[in-house]
Amino acid sequence: MTTARLTASGPSRRWRIGNEVWQFDGLPKLMGIVNVTPDSFSAGGQFISVSAASEHALKLVGEGADLLDIG
């Protein structure tokens, strides 16, 4: 397995999401995608049920996703 190391980072950023503030350290983040609409161009209809979408989301987090895009 190849490992990459980032030696330079960008400025720190803060996002307010609802009542929470997320601090980002300038390093890249991995976003997992959960497509829940039947007309999605990718995985269309595969995660329509709440249980299927939840299971997929948990799998993505388990594989290293820092945040999720659910749409």
pLDDT tens, position by position, 3-34: 555 555 566 688 888 898 888 877 888 999 99
Q: Does residue 66 lie in a domain region?
A: yes
41 in any annotated domain:
yes
| 57 within a domain of the structure (yes/no) | yes
pTM: predicted TM-score of the whole model, two decimal places: 0.66
- How far is Cα 23 from Cα 2, in angstroms, rounded to an integer? 28
Calculate the alpha carbon distances from 10 to 17, 21, 33, 36 in Å: 21, 19, 24, 33
**What is the domain range of residue 54?**
28-70
**12 within a domain of the structure (yes/no):** no
Residue with more model confidence, 41 or 18: 18
The total of structural domains in the chain comes to: 1
What's the pLDDT score for residue 12? 67
Query: Is residue 19 in some structural domain?
Result: no
Identify whether 47 is part of a domain: yes
- In angstroms, rounded to a whole number, what is the distance separating the alpha carbons of residues 34 and 17? 19
